[in-house]
Amino acid sequence: MLDDFLVRAALAGLGTALAAGLLGCFVVWRRMAYFGDATAHAAILGVALSLAFHLSVLTGVAAVALVMALIIFALSERGHGMDTVLGVLAHGGLAAGLVAVALIPGARINLDAYLFGDVLTVTRLDLAVIWGGALLVAVVLWSRWSAMLTATLSPDLAYAAGIDPRREQLVLTLMLAAVVAVALKVVGALLITALLIIPAAAARNFARTPERMAALASALGALAALGGLRLAMWFDTPVGPTVVCVAAGLFALGTLAGQVRTMRG
């Protein structure tokens, strides 16, 4: 069954949606959209380094995403204006990656696959990495949910409860880097942040508790992944952008439904 590329693509989309949905809630609550952009865009530099040093793409992307995440964390601790810093890192990282790929002699690479994803070429090894990353994110969030949620809602309350907000932010930072690495092949560097933010933002219209929002975000992300794959097959469109379009459509419907419910109430 796993020899069918559509089945592998669907499973890859589901695994990515699970991790992105759970983690995306914290991205929305902490307003870290630009953080995701900076980490994801730097992934292209990881692709270039992988080609230059003959490493697996996953290794290069994961290493660069991790380094970028740690740089951002260190800068945030020093009180820099994060909007500007993240904007510079996001676009500078992407530009550096594109230039580095162009400078590698003899490199033949389809950059569109890394910019917008190429889920239809997912292998069994890719599936193992994607689902391994998704399960890791789920386990870490389950074990640290209370601490991370408290640190997100109120750092002062977290300190009073004996929780170090900096530690929880570092854990979140490392998990975001991991999700960027495993999601690159599904939606691409330019669209990873959209998959993190849009399902979580759509879920916020219906969920009354953080736990329900996280569960609903994962469900909406899964629906976007499967729906986007189906529509891409019908209309012969790129899968990654189609998945994000479906997610945006779900957000629009959710927002409209929320406004109608408010008006009736």
Query: Model confidence over 58-110: pLDDT tens digits?
Result: 888 889 988 888 888 887 766 555 677 777 888 888 898 888 888 887 767 77
**1 falls in which pLDDT band (50, 70, 90)?**
very low
What pTM value is reported for the model?
0.90
Confidence label for 2 from pLDDT (cuts 50, 70 and 90) = very low
Give mean pLDDT, residues 249-253.
94
The mean pLDDT of 48-54, rounded to a whole number, is 86
SS3 content of the chain, % helix, strand, coil (to 5): 85, 0, 15
Tell me the pLDDT band of 135, cut-offs 50, 70 and 90: very high
Residue 81 has a pLDDT of: 59
What confidence tens digit (pLDDT) does each residue in 189-247 have? 889 989 999 999 999 888 889 999 999 999 999 999 999 999 999 999 999 999 999 99
Going from the C-alpha of 6 to that of each of 26, 74, 184, the distances in angstroms are: 31, 41, 18
pLDDT at 51: 84
CB 7 within 8 A of CB 219: no
Which residues make Cβ contacts (< 8 Å) with residue 236, sequence separation at least 6? none
Please report the pLDDT score of residue 107 as a whole number: 65
